[in-house]
A and B are shown apart, each in its own frame.
Chain A
Amino acid sequence: AQSVTQPDIHITVSEGASLELRCNYSYGATPYLFWYVQSPGQGLQLLLKYFSGDTLVQGIKGFEAEFKRSQSSFNLRKPSVHWSDAAEYFCAVGRNYGGSQGNLIFGKGTKLSVKP
C-alpha cells in the first residue's frame, strides 16, 4: 500500500539557520510528490511539486526539495529560516492510476517552530 512517512513530528530551528524536513514514501511507480504548508487554523498552501524531470525543484518562499528515487525520499530544504516559516508542513504523494487517479496520500505532518 502507498504511504508517506514524515519521521519528525516537531522540529525547532533558530531563525537564520538552515532547515531540512524529511519525507519518505512508498509507491510502486514514479510518484507525483508535493509539499504543502499550513498555518494554524488555515487551509493548506502548495509549496512545490515534482512530477518528472529535474530532481531538484524550486518552490515558493525560498523552499526547494530534492527527489531521490534510490532513497524513496523527497526532503524539503530552506537555506535560511525566517520566523514566518513557523507552521506545519505536509508531504504528499499522488496516485497516478485507476479510479483514484489524482488522489493524494498525506504524511502526518512536521510542525516547525522557529527560535528568535
Chain B
Amino acid sequence: DGGITQSPKYLFRKEGQNVTLSCEQNLNHDAMYWYRQDPGQGLRLIYYSQIVNDFQKGDIAEGYSVSREKKESFPLTVTSAQKNPTAFYLCASRSGTPEAQFFGPGTRLTVL
C-alpha cells in the first residue's frame, strides 16, 4: 500500500537533547512538508522540500533542521534551540500542483 509513515508515534526527550523525527513516503511524490500542530493553532509550516537535495524554511523554522537526500525520506531534527518543542508533528507529501497534500499519522513529541 502506498502512503506516508512517521515514526515513532510517541517520543519523549529530555530538555536540551536533539531529536530526529522520521518521515518516509512510497508515493513517488516530489514535494514533502513538515508541520507543527498545537491546540487551537491549526497547522504551521516548519520546512518544505519541492525536490530532492533542496528545501526551504517555512513560517516557524527556528530551532528545526531537515535534510532531503532521498526522494522518499524527509527527516526533521528538533534541536535544543527550539524553545517549546512539545507538540504534534505532521509530515505530508504532494505529487504536483495543484494536487492536494497527503498526511502521515503524526508524531507526538513531549520534552520533559
Contacts and interface: CB of A to CB of B under 8 A. Distances in A.
B7 to A, nearest CB: 13
B66 interface: no
Interface in B1-41: 4, 6, 31, 33, 40-41
Interface residues of B, number: 29
B31 to A, nearest CB: 6
Interface string B74-112: 000000000000001010101011111111111010000
A102 B43 CA distance: 15
A94 B6 CA distance: 24
Given A51-B98, A101-B97, A43 B42 contact: no
Given A90-B42, A102-B31, A42 B98 contact: no
Given A43-B105, A44-B90, A103 B98 contact: no
Binding site secondary structure of chain B: strand
B45 interface: yes
A5 to B, nearest CB: 11
A32 B6 CA distance: 27
A44 B90 CA distance: 9
A32 B98 contact: yes
Give the most central of B42, B56, B58: most A CB within 10 Å. B42
A13 interface: no
Given A90-B43, A108-B40, A102 B94 contact: yes
Interface of B: 4, 6, 31, 33, 40-43, 45, 48, 50, 56, 58, 88, 90, 92, 94, 96-106, 108
